[in-house]
Every structure is written in structure tokens, then in C-alpha cells.
Structure 1
Amino acid sequence: MKDDDLAFRALADPTRRFLLDLLFARDGRTLGELESEVEMTRFGVAKHLRVLEEAGLVVARRSGREKLHFLNPVPIRLIHDRWIGKYTERPAAALADLKRELETDMTTTETSTGAGRTVHVYRVYIKATPQSIWDAITKPEWAVKYGYQAPVEYDLRPGGAFRGLASDAMKEHGAADVVIDGEVIEADPPRRLVQTWRALFLDEPATRLTYEIEDDEQGISRLTVTHDVTGAPQTAAQTNGELPGAGGGWSQTLSDLKTLLETGEALYA
């Protein structure tokens, strides 16, 4: 079954859509917390969560003895780019914005995992080798081809510097040469990269960013991005694609990365 089919099947059920809404409102919940919000047995909720996990819409991570469930918006972004962006993005976006304004207050929601932490988890499956994905993340000649189309510089050693440079388009709008900085904490090519990540245009502390790349025998790699944005609410909103005019955040970037590596062309080339 194709990725789109799995996502559409998962989204077709109102209970599963409600579970996604619950995770959007407060991410990183246990099965027990979700069960308390739904008129259904624990087994029934667990079954729905498995369907959402199979579709990639939910990512489960262990935190001590607890199993936490996170909303993964990347498959929804891919559906948007495949079925909306190509055909009717402008009118559909305008109608969607109008509907949201009429029905809801415009507020920013944090992703809480308890103990005062805020963590976003994104996952995407890519038909590419781990090395190709690693290169696309860490090499400037690849970084300019997708996402915000801006080069990056890495010193891939513990304590090494990371810099996210402004694209020409960003500079036209007054951006400085360096817009993001950080420090490499752990680098295990092409499997795992842990670093700090600080947006210099926001008056907030550095956050912690982790890339994990796994592959299988069929040539499919799984890229998981975990962004701990604790204490940095503006960074959380920006990287989650919630700030108007600031792009689609990690969801859009990872969707674009997948498309580039699988087709040779970026979504917004």
C-alpha cells in the first residue's frame, strides 16, 4: 500500500482524526492520557494508534517507562503538496484560512511532553541511502536545493561549529549572513547527528536538534528529526510552520527533501 493510501485510510476514521487533534493540542501523550479523552476501551485506542503509526502520522518514543505518542505532520504535508499544492493551492488556502478564522481563535499551541519540556518529532520515509540523506543534511551544495534553499556549514566533530547561512532571497529582505548557529554534540555518519540549534533572529536560547537515519533491506530509509525547543516558544512556532510568512518549518523541509532525493527535483524549484 502506498504512503498516500495509508494516510488517507488512517484519516478516514473520525476517532483517529480526533486522536490527531488531541496530539496537536498537546503532544507527547501516553496511551492512558489519550484513552481518558475518548469513549472507547484502552484496546480500541491502542488499535487506532497502531493504524496512525503505520501511516506515519504518529511517532511513538520511549521516555523512561512511558511510551509517548507524537503527532508527525510530514505525511499530511506530503498530501498537501501532492493533492492541493499542484492543483488549487491559492484558492484552497484562502478558503481554509477563512474557515479557520471563522471557527477558531488564532493561537499558538505548544507541544508538551511534561516536566516543562517542549519536543517536536517528525518522521519521513525516503527511498534513498542513509549516506545520501546525511549528505543532503550536512553539505551546503545539497542544502541549497530544498527547504529554505540556504547553505549550511558543519564541522562534524563534537564541539564543532554549525552555521545556517542566509539565502540570497533572505538577504534581499534584510537577513544577516548567518541566521542560525549551533554546536555539534554527536556525529555518527551517516546514522545520527545531535547538535544545538539557535535562530539568531529570535531572542531565545539554543535548542537541541537530533537527526536519526535508519534503513531496511528494501532500500527505504527512515529519517526521524527530534527538535527539543524547550524554553524557546518562538523557535517552536517557526520550526513547526505556525508563523505566517515564515515557511512551512520542518514538515515542509522534510517533504521537500524526500521529493528531491526520490525524483531529482525539489517541490519549489
Structure 2
Amino acid sequence: MTILSREYLVTYKASMDAIFKALNDPARRALLDSLRAKDGQSLMELEEQLDMTRFGVMKHLKVLEDANLIVPRKVGRFKYHYLNAMPLQEVIDRWVEPLLARSAARAMADLKQELEKPMSKKPDFVMQTFIRCTQDALWDALTKPEGMANYHFMANRIELEGNQLIYYTPDDNKMLVCTSIAETPKTRIESTFEPHWAGPDVPLAKSSFVYLIEPEGPQCKLTLEHYDIPEGQEGVTDGWARMMSGLKTWLETGEPANFGSAA
């Protein structure tokens, strides 16, 4: 049984209070609905959908950002906003999940600008979560294959070949190949994303993703950015949610957590 510290419980309560405050306004709920329908919108795009001033929209976005329900990403002169599902999933885990089978989608962008290699384009998808663990533990979990089966939602075997992580399904079929492009130790990982689950006869369509790690006291902020997701692969967002939720649970409890589908 995991015993939570008083400090953790105080932090958790403050996080829950911020979430419920953010949701207790129809304009903010409308903004979340809009980002759910189309992620990565600019302030101008969101402003056009609400009957209020730009300043009013900015105030609502700040409340949502403070609750970690949205993650901003600045590219050039523009700031884009992404829906972050992880805080809502934590609410489900606390009050709803005990009443349901463990199969709901889960989840997981901002590393300090001076610590991050900026991307020249905006991501298609952003997810962010906070994990109560050391920076070393999180880095090892993301880079060392021997522990990955403890939190991946489908792969039960992962092998490292050179700079490639190769994921295999329980029936020993290759499902995913991720090739490391660039790494800043304990801070940043940039990798390709090459799915194989459709079978050998389907042409491969690669994309890329970035992990950003930022230590914050006894916890780490982990941000995932996925770029150039091909048409037909939009479902990878659900896979990321399941994987990131398993990662958080495993690192915080030490118990394997494989949040696969309920099929």
C-alpha cells in the first residue's frame, strides 16, 4: 500500500480545486470543447468563437492553463493551445474509476525556453503530466527497454538495437519502431515514430515526437509533443494517453500498470 505524504496531498487538493474552478464556467468549457474538436488553436481562432473581448478570452485561457487543462506552445510569433487530458483523467481515477473496469483512455508544453531546442513548427498533439519521481528515474523509464513492459499498454517486449527501440506485441509481432534523433540527457528526447501494427503490406508513414522533462521539486513535469501525424493515424493519441498513464502509475507506485483497451 502506497502512503501519500501530507505535502503531496496538499498539492493534490490544490490541483483538484484549480480544475473544478476552471470547469465552473461555460465559456471555459466552450474553449475546452473547441480544442477537443480542433487541437492546437491560436488565440485569434478561439476569440472568433466567443462573444467577448480578446482580453476576456485571455483571462479564461489563463485559468485553464493554471489548472493544467490546456498546454500552450509558442511557435514563432504565435501561441497555440492544446487540450491536456491528464488532469481530467486523474479526477476519473479518484472518483469514477473504482466503479468501472480499468480501460478508459488516459494521459499525459513547456520546458523553459533556454533549456529546450525549439521546434520550427507547431505540434499536432501535446500531452503533459506531473509524475512524483526523480529525474533519473523518469529518464531511465523512457530510455531503458527492460522496464518499459511495466507500463506500455500493449507491448510486452521492447528491445534496444543501436538507437532504435523496437516494440513487440504479445504474439511477437513488431508493432512500433522509435529511432532516437537527438537527446539532451535527462531533459529532452527527439525520436521518429514508425508504426507497424497495420501489417507488412501497408506502406509505413513516419512521424516524430519529443519528450521534454523538467524537474520541479519532488516531481517531474513530462511533456509529449507529436509532430506530422499522418492521416489515418489520429488514434495514436489514445495510445499515448494509455502509455503515459501507465508510466505515471508505475513510477509512483512501483506496480506494473498496463492500461490496454477493454477488447
Give the TM-score normalised by structure 2: 0.78
Indicate yes or no: 2:159 matched with 1:153: yes
Q: Provide the secondary structure at the position in 2 that maps to 1:82.
A: helix
Equivalent residue for 1:240? 237
Indicate yes or no: 2:62 matched with 1:50: yes
**What's the offset of the Cα at 1:208?**
0.2
Q: Provide the secondary structure at the position in 1 that maps to 2:150.
A: coil
Q: Distance in 2 between matches of 1:266 and 1:80?
A: 19
The answer (yes or no) to whether the contact 1:139–1:152 under 8 Å persists in 2 is no
Q: Distance in 1 between matches of 2:125 and 2:187?
A: 19
The answer (yes or no) to whether the contact 2:194–2:206 under 8 Å persists in 1 is yes
**What's the offset of the Cα at 1:47?**
1.2
Q: Provide the secondary structure at the position in 1 that maps to 2:166.
A: strand
Indicate yes or no: 2:206 matched with 1:200: no
The answer (yes or no) to whether the contact 1:117–1:228 under 8 Å persists in 2 is yes
Q: Give the AA of the match of 1:14.
A: P
Equivalent residue for 2:42? 30
- Aligned residues with identical type, % of pairs: 36
1:202-221 equivalences in 2 (<5 Å): 202=198, 203=202, 204-216=204-216, 218-221=217-220
**What's the offset of the Cα at 1:80?**
2.1
Distance 1:59 1:48, change over 3 A: same
1:1-269 equivalences in 2 (<5 Å): 1-2=11-12, 3-89=15-101, 119-148=124-153, 150=155, 151-154=157-160, 160-166=163-169, 168=170, 171=171, 176=173, 178-202=174-198, 203=202, 204-216=204-216, 218-230=217-229, 232-237=230-235, 239-241=236-238, 249-268=239-258
Q: Distance in 2 between matches of 1:131 and 1:196?
A: 23
Larger RCO (CA within 8 A; separation ≥ 6): 2
**What's the offset of the Cα at 1:153?**
3.0
Distance 1:12 1:253, change over 3 A: farther
Distance 1:255 1:193, change over 3 A: same
- Number of aligned residue pairs: give it: 226
Distance 1:251 1:81, change over 3 A: same
**Contiguous gaps of at least 5 residues in structure 1:** 94-115, 242-248
The answer (yes or no) to whether the contact 1:19–1:34 under 8 Å persists in 2 is yes
Q: Superposition RMSD on alpha carbons, in Å?
A: 2.4
Distance 1:126 1:182, change over 3 A: closer
Q: Distance in 2 between matches of 1:201 and 1:149?
A: 11
Q: Provide the secondary structure at the position in 2 that maps to 1:198.
A: strand
